Amino acid sequence: MPQKKRKHTLGRRELIDFPGLALHKVEAKVDTGAYTSAIHCADVHLQTDATGEPVLHVRLLDPSHPATDGRLLIFHRFDQRDIRSSNGEVQLRYIIRTVVRLYGRGYEVEFSLANRSDLRYPVLLGRSLLRQGRFVVDVARRNLSYKAECRAAARAQAATAGPDKPVVP
């Protein structure tokens, strides 16, 4: 009989990393009502490169956000799609694919680029990620993935520390 894969639990809010974008500890809202994940962008514009191909230039998060250095990111692979917001409005948004790190594992996820400046959380994690990672959501909890990674790092450090080496908390 095949063994079932273990499901991880996410809280209603999670601190996540985007290793390919060099963004760490970004606060995200887990939204089971949204299909596509979204990330806030402060500046989006399309240009063409030397070969005439379109290139997307983006500044993710607000310049004041602690996880960003405000640098311009360039995407050669992107898409555009109609996305229906929670208020029912349909917007044509750019879509990028990037890796999100949860529970020590990377998941390649599509993110729509949206102006979320009026919202509390710069990132929204939708059902497509939840399905891909086989995650369940406990709305009474927070930062479960981040806390699990911290515990794993502390265990690894304790395992490598000898009797004469102190463990740094």
Q: What residue segments make up the domains of the chain, in order of their start?
A: 8-41+75-160
Kindly tell me if the per-residue pLDDT of 74 is higher than 80.
yes
pLDDT of res. 76: 94
User: Which position has the higher pLDDT, 43 or 83?
Assistant: 83
Spell 61-81 as b/e; 16+ CB within 10 A means b: beeebebbeeeebebeebeee
Per-residue model confidence as pLDDT tens digits over 36-63: 999 999 889 999 988 999 999 999 887 7
Kindly tell me if the per-residue pLDDT of 30 is higher than 90.
yes
Task: Write out the H or E segment, with its range, that includes residue 13.
Answer: strand 8-18
pLDDT of res. 119: 86
What burial class does residue 124 get, using C-beta atoms within 10 Å of its C-beta: 0-12 exposed, 13-18 middle, 19+ buried?
buried
pLDDT of res. 150: 92
Cβ 113 vs Cβ 96: under 8 Å? yes
pLDDT of res. 63: 73
d(CA 81, CA 116): 17
Please give the model's pTM, rounded to 2 decimal places.
0.86
pLDDT band at 159 (very low <50, low <70, confident <90, very high): confident
Nearest to 104 by CA among 156, 38, 39, 161: 156
Helix (H) and strand (E) counts in the chain: 2, 10
How many C-beta atoms lie closer than 10 Å to residue 130's C-beta? 19
Class of domain 8-41+75-160: mainly beta
Percent of the chain topping pLDDT 70: 92
